[in-house]
Structure 1
Amino acid sequence: MEKITGTLALAVFAAALGSLQYGYGIGVINAPQEVIVGHYARSLGFPVEVRHGEDGNVTTHHAQPHPADSALTMYWSLSVAMFPVGGIVSSFLVGFVADFRGRVKGMLVLNVLAVVSSLLMGFAKMGSPHIMVITGRTIMGFYCGLSSGLVPMYIGEIAPVKYRGALGTLHQLAVVTGILISQVLGLDFLLGNDEMWHVLLGLSGVIAVLQSLLLPFCPESPRYLYITLGKTEEACKSLKRLKGEYDTSKDVAEMQAEKEEAMKEAKISIRRLLKAKAYRQQLLVALMLHLSQQFSGINAIFYYSTAIFYRAGVAQPVYATIGVGAVNTVLTLVSVLLVDRAGRRTLMLIGLSGMCCCAVGMTIGLVYQNTYSWMSYVSMVAIFLFVCFFEIGPGPIPWFIVAELFSQGPRPAAITLAGFCNWTSNFVVGMCFPYIEQLLDMYVFIIFVVFLFGFTVFTWLRVPETKGKTFEEIAALFQKKRPAAASQTAAETELEQLKGATEA
């Protein structure tokens, strides 16, 4: 009978620390925004005045409009947006790093990047803070782009079948927990102040050191050892470390069958996948779902929620931001049950349409906040519900549905393209949101209303239900959307050509 052993629990916990680091990187830049911008201004010689609000928060202002405003906006946007830039670059290297020296050694080596990043940001006050923070955030994003691929891969490969779904959700749970921790530590009376903000940014190195101490005690993935390296004896030892003493013949037979199945289907490159008409519909759906996750506006909330709550007239915006993180964490746990009981398409429709309505509510709250005092509560409730609807569907589903849409051959290329699409759109939102906010002011969320409405319509018309269906059944659903007369023959011909070209 399958059980969770101490070694398995240790391995999953150690791996999930990489996801915790990812979440910490997303949320840590939010709360101390005004403090960090003030240090940027002083290091660049811009004239600013520092004001201490009634809640103890420090804000920086120019006495009158100043050319430095645009420069500071640019540096702050880069501080936020260079994090996903690193992820964009490294998303193409996940497969290479995973197979080069293995999952465990790959995660271990990556921690060098995390430590270097944390040192740059931790000592930012001693040099040019804008340069050191932007550089540190870029390196941390590079680390997180690799880690966000390696962690789910490793956990999925070592988890027993009975617990694979539950353990697989720990990646997303660790991400939102990291966001929440960074928000709590970012409180003004803890680390989000003028004296300690650099410690807040550099603290992520502690997570990397802890993971580095634990990973050497974790077994390598048995699937990597057997399928990739062909080391049967070492794979059996790893299985026994993870599951205890038992007869490994059944698991070895399962891995052998998986290896033989993988060898039957040619591995399709990214370039061939982009050209293949047979996979065009699946690829369109996969990429659009990842675009819907990022262009929904969720990272605008995570990156800039404190500023948004401040504009909405909330008295303690930092605490409201922490509330958002807490709701996000709780709803991630709830979404596990919802995904198992409801269909993917249904949850995506509920999530996207609900977020669309909440974005309308946020806009109304911002527009009328000076007319009606209670409108600040409308904005706050809308933001909380926005996060709830995100975790119902657009949060978790795009990450795992890509594997359901593609079989073994095109799956690695599809996952790489989906990750690249996700990180790129993350960068666009992080970089452009401050400028869009300056341009549209109180109507800033209208643009997300338009996006969300479009994604809802697309999901309704083009996204099939994949729950409980085989790869063949899912492929048949997409073939029905093509001209019936020649769709099957054309698809089979193209797949044969792809396979022949790859083998050649």
Structure 2
Amino acid sequence: MESVVLHGQNYNKKCQFGKRAVTPPNVLGRGGGGCILAAKMRMFAVALSIGAGTMFLVSLDSVVDNLIPVARKYLIEFYGSEKRANFAWGWVVSARSYGIAFGCFCAFLCSDCPSRKWPLVGSFLISFIGGILCMLIKVPEFGIAICCLGRFLSGLGSGLAQVIGSAMLAEIPQIRLRGTCLASLTVWACVGELAGLFMSLDTVLGTDETWHIALGFPVLIIPFTLATLLMAPDSPRALLLLGKENAAFESLKFYQNSEDWIPSLKDVKMELYHNYWPKPNGQNGTSQEVPLLEKGRGIGEFFALRCRFGTGKFVRPLIIGAFVLTLAHLDDWLWISYSTQAFENVGTAPSDAQRASLWMAFPQHLLFRDCHFCAIASGSAYSVAPELFQQSDRIMGTALIGISQNLFGGFLATIALPLMNGSGIEYVLVPFILLNIAYVVVISKKLPETNGKSFYEISEKFSDKMPEFPSLTQYLRAFTRFILIMGRKTVLLFHLIGKIVI
């Protein structure tokens, strides 16, 4: 019988997990290869549904780009001035980014929630309600406010769904398919971006009569994703860590083949031993430190967060993941949302500007789809960020990354249109190019390879020691000293000028 030895204990297919011995179901017992194919099909169906309900809603961001020409007419008529119209549209665009940031914060608050499935279902429903509210932008007097609320709610749902969905996608497949499942998020983001640009064309929904429908049309995919998700079980990994063996094995039967059960269990046991169980002292065998979850449980998420920020296993992947995932969205914030406006500013007709934005998006999307079909997990920021964290840190880490990412993005989306119209497109595109160069350099040097690695193997690449930035610290100290010296000299100068004047 196939078995695996972990820390002196032997685990075979009758696994002692908790106090009960539970025999896993024999997935190959009925139909052999047919069951293998069926398990893969079920797993990919759930993965595609999660991607459709999370990253396809990127179309809610790209759809506002091509709607600028037709929306501007309505907003100028509504507000009576182009300046106020641009300001209002900037808030319509950025409200979703702020909603995503708040959604990530909510995901952080429930980071130790035992379930993955039901929070995901709730987030899909919030996104759906928000999308429907976006379509009410033409309601007299309060339409703009209702639309901003709708985009905020759609962002709130997306923030929750992106964090929880990526965590669930990292946990349901076997190791060799994890990169493919996570990379499907990138494919859905690309498909959603193209769909948003397409449906907002003046020959589709971007007309004077139907443009308000385009603002929320992408959320109509959510009922289909919910139907699939409601029929699927929760993450087997989360259920195993909760000690719910029977439910976990039923979930494993749904998502994986029996040949993949032992590697999956080994990965969970490794993490359980290193992250949840007390570490013995070499001399007296007593507990040297309390596990992080035990410190945080019953006290609050902020205490747990403080504990996690004391270890490099959490802080190091958090810094790398925040850099990778934040700068990966620069094209959305600085270009995709306003590219049609950029073409119009140089004299392109509105209809031609819409089509130019659509065609310019194709090369990037084809490249990301190639990364998906090669199953390169590190080829996508959406894929690699949740893989960097341990099981106990995955929701909290990706939530914090999402908060920083979308607060930064909301700020950029708010100022990009006025900056582009007032100062020139070079003030947007030059920082965009420079930051992308920095992005490539940093990830090539600091980002570890995650493809084909277990979560335990990935976590071992990060040191327990807190990261140190000696050069940055020296620079900050020197800068602080310079500010203090200049402040003192400025005060003395004003005193001297005051004496001379008096």
TM-score relative to the length of structure 2 = 0.71
Show CA shifts across 1:54-89 (max 9, x none): xxxxxxxxxxxxxx2221121111001010100111
* Whole-Å separation in 2 of the counterparts to 1:171 and 1:246: 26
Percent of aligned positions that are identical:
16
Q: Is the 8 A contact 2:311 2:465 kept in 1?
A: no
Matched with 1:311 is: 345
Matched with 1:443 is: 426
Matched with 1:373 is: none
Q: Is the 8 A contact 2:62 2:336 kept in 1?
A: yes
Aligned pair in 2 of structure 1 residues 6, 453: CA closer, same or farther (>3 Å)? closer
By how many angstroms is 1:171 displaced? 0.9
Q: Is the 8 A contact 1:240 1:246 kept in 2?
A: no
* Aligned-partner SS, 2:328: helix
1:266 pairs, out of 288, 292, 296, with 292
| Counterpart check, 1:107 vs 2:120 | yes
Matched with 2:335 is: 301
By how many angstroms is 1:5 displaced? 2.9
Aligned pair in 2 of structure 1 residues 339, 292: CA closer, same or farther (>3 Å)? farther
* Whole-Å separation in 2 of the counterparts to 1:69 and 1:41: 5
* Whole-Å separation in 1 of the counterparts to 2:259 and 2:314: 41
Aligned pair in 2 of structure 1 residues 407, 323: CA closer, same or farther (>3 Å)? same
1:194 pairs, out of 183, 200, 208, with 208
* Whole-Å separation in 1 of the counterparts to 2:437 and 2:266: 48
Matched with 1:23 is: 58
Q: Is the 8 A contact 2:206 2:214 kept in 1?
A: yes
Matched with 2:68 is: 33
Aligned pair in 2 of structure 1 residues 399, 418: CA closer, same or farther (>3 Å)? farther
Matched with 2:77 is: 42
* Aligned-partner SS, 2:337: helix
Matched with 2:249 is: 236
Q: Is the 8 A contact 2:123 2:158 kept in 1?
A: no
By how many angstroms is 1:20 displaced? 4.1
By how many angstroms is 1:28 displaced? 1.5
2:175 pairs, out of 157, 161, 168, with 161
2:408 pairs, out of 405, 425, 432, with 425
Matched with 2:87 is: 74
What is the correspondence of 1:225-374 to structure 2 with a 5 Å cutoff?
225-228=239-242, 230-243=243-256, 248=261, 251-252=264-265, 254-264=267-277, 265-267=291-293, 269-274=304-309, 283-294=318-329, 296-314=330-348, 316-336=352-372, 340=376
By how many angstroms is 1:232 displaced? 0.4
166-175 vs 285-294, greater mean Cα deviation: 285-294
Aligned pair in 2 of structure 1 residues 333, 477: CA closer, same or farther (>3 Å)? farther
| Counterpart check, 1:214 vs 2:228 | yes
1:91 pairs, out of 104, 108, 126, with 104
Tell me the amino acid that sits aligned with residue 381 of structure 2. Answer: I
Q: Is the 8 A contact 1:19 1:147 kept in 2?
A: yes
Tell me the amino acid that sits aligned with residue 331 of structure 1. Answer: L
* Whole-Å separation in 1 of the counterparts to 2:325 and 2:149: 27
* Aligned-partner SS, 2:66: coil
Q: Is the 8 A contact 2:62 2:196 kept in 1?
A: yes
| Counterpart check, 1:5 vs 2:18 | no
* Whole-Å separation in 2 of the counterparts to 1:417 and 1:198: 33
* Whole-Å separation in 2 of the counterparts to 1:6 and 1:453: 39
Gaps of 5+ in 1: 47-67, 345-392, 484-504
* Whole-Å separation in 2 of the counterparts to 1:180 and 1:254: 37
| Counterpart check, 1:400 vs 2:379 | no
Show CA shifts across 1:445-485 (max 9, x none): 2333454466567668xx435227754444399979779xx
82-91 vs 15-24, greater mean Cα deviation: 15-24
Q: Is the 8 A contact 2:96 2:151 kept in 1?
A: yes
Tell me the amino acid that sits aligned with residue 143 of structure 2. Answer: P
Show CA shifts across 1:301-346 (max 9, x none): 11011112233445512112112333232111223478849xx7xx
Aligned pair in 2 of structure 1 residues 239, 98: CA closer, same or farther (>3 Å)? farther
Tell me the amino acid that sits aligned with residue 41 of structure 2. Answer: G
Matched with 2:446 is: 464
Tell me the amino acid that sits aligned with residue 213 of structure 2. Answer: V
Matched with 2:190 is: 176
Q: Is the 8 A contact 1:32 1:197 kept in 2?
A: yes
* Whole-Å separation in 2 of the counterparts to 1:465 and 1:247: 27
By how many angstroms is 1:247 displaced? 9.0
Aligned length: 404
By how many angstroms is 1:278 displaced? 8.6
Tell me the amino acid that sits aligned with residue 8 of structure 1. Answer: M
By how many angstroms is 1:280 displaced? 6.0
* Aligned-partner SS, 1:169: helix
By how many angstroms is 1:263 displaced? 0.5
* Aligned-partner SS, 2:446: coil
Name the larger-Rg structure.
2
